Amino acid sequence: MIQVTLITNDNKVITGPEDSNLLRLSIREKGGIPFKCGGGLCGTCRCLIEKGLENTDAVKDKERKHLTDDDLAAGYRMACQTFVNGDVSVSWIPLALRKPATPPVKPGESVVPGAEQPLGVPRE
């Protein structure tokens, strides 16, 4: 059995078999890691492996869509994509404290509804 210490959840310790999916284990044991889709699409389950990063499996392509190389090097993972084969300690930013995501403006799109072109782009 492995132990997962949920730092953000008052250091709650949950257990499960080796090669457990981190998010599924958290859901099963009421661990509190936030999630929405559970499939690597939304990035809500972003968390920091503070101890035991070596006890996680290889980074998946879905994680690379939400996490930079610097994030990954610092120990950030997506709980829904991470399998644990040894003890880890995990923290996360609670949803209530997260800043809302702001989608990037694509060329030719308007930031202001009804505007002819994006803000900050000079007219031709």
DSSP 54-93: GGB-PPPHHHHTTS-HHHHHHTEEEGGG-EESS-EEEE--
pLDDT tens digits, one per residue of 35-77: 999 999 999 999 999 999 999 999 999 999 999 999 999 999 9
Q: Return the pLDDT at 101.
A: 63
pTM equals 0.79
Distance between CA 104 and CA 111 in Å, rounded? 10
Residue 118 confidence class, pLDDT cut points 50, 70, 90: very low
